[in-house]
Amino acid sequence: MEHRLLGNSGLKVPVVGLGCNNFGGRLDPKETALVLNQCIEEGLNFFDTANVYGGGLSEDYMGKALKGKRHEVLLATKAGMSVGDGPNEIGSSRKHLMQQIDVSLSRLQTDYIDLYQIHRHDPNTPVEETMRTLDDLVKQGKVRYIGCSNYAAWQIAEAMGVANNLNLQPFVTVQPEYSMMKRDVEKEISPAAAKLGLGILPYFPLASGFLTGKYKRGAGTPDGTRLAGNQQRADAALTSSNFDLLEKLEDFAAQRGCSMVELAIAWLLANPSVSCVIAGATKPEQVKANAKAGDCQLTIEEKAELDAILEEHGF
């Protein structure tokens, strides 16, 4: 498994990581352990979760499954989404973050988080308050590195400017939705990340599974798939024009002897600002496929040909 630096830090991470939002929802504790153990075996040991995934069960199941194996993995989690009905149970205020870091540490059965991320921008909390709190968590040893998720480019720049002016820990990553079919990142976030030294951690790299090829034209959504549980997202993804694109991409992949998973992840990794692609998995076999994708590389010519196909279809 190839490794890259996590943004402008000295931490090396595998180019493919595991998104853990299925734990506690689609997967029970035993299934969670099977997936995590396969990840460790494959060298895919960067795990990205959040305090709200599975209503908190994702962190809980992971903590139990990783007992005695903490030194083998890198743990990333997030805070900022609503965890209750109280006025201070959401956002990135000092009170909320100080409370939630301890909740996450307890669930994960660890005394530190490798990457602690603000799940989304909080317009109600001063940026200085958030960045000072994160800096304090690093100084306390509870957090090694900090990042953000679902931030606009200007929000990243604002936070990085505050950190620089006050000599605080800066973000080293940004985590946006990014795939062949979701390329808004390339307009502003990718250039900002390159300029500011942030590593991009794409989530939904397979467009909620559409780019795996598991969905077929006119066949609906198979039981147990991500789109089967989200009709609105399914209606947006399973269009005739999207299937036209998918069939061209499948031909492209077949001609080169690779899978659609490998192609989709390799395309993301062709962006040098991408540190690690956050790919989900619900079975050990999917972990193996994701790990194999980390070894697939595109030539400059192949990347250009793929971009031309995407642009032809409006992506």
Instruction: Report the catalytic residues.
Output: 53
d(C-alpha 42, C-alpha 195), whole Å: 32
Residues paired with residue 278 on neighbouring β-strands, in sequence order: 17
Which of 21, 75, 65, 68 has its CA nearest to residue 45?
A: 75
Q: What is the dihedral of CA 179, 172, 17, 185, to 10 degrees?
A: 0
Instruction: Write out the two tokens for 53.
Output: 């995934």
- CA-closest candidate to residue 21, choices 175, 132, 168: 175
Instruction: Give 126-140 as a 3 state SS string.
Output: CHHHHHHHHHHHHHC
DSSP, res 218 = T
Report the C-alpha gap between 76 and 98 in whole angstroms.
16
* Strand bridging mode 46-48 / 277-280: unpaired
Give φ, ψ of 23 to 5 degrees.
-70, 130
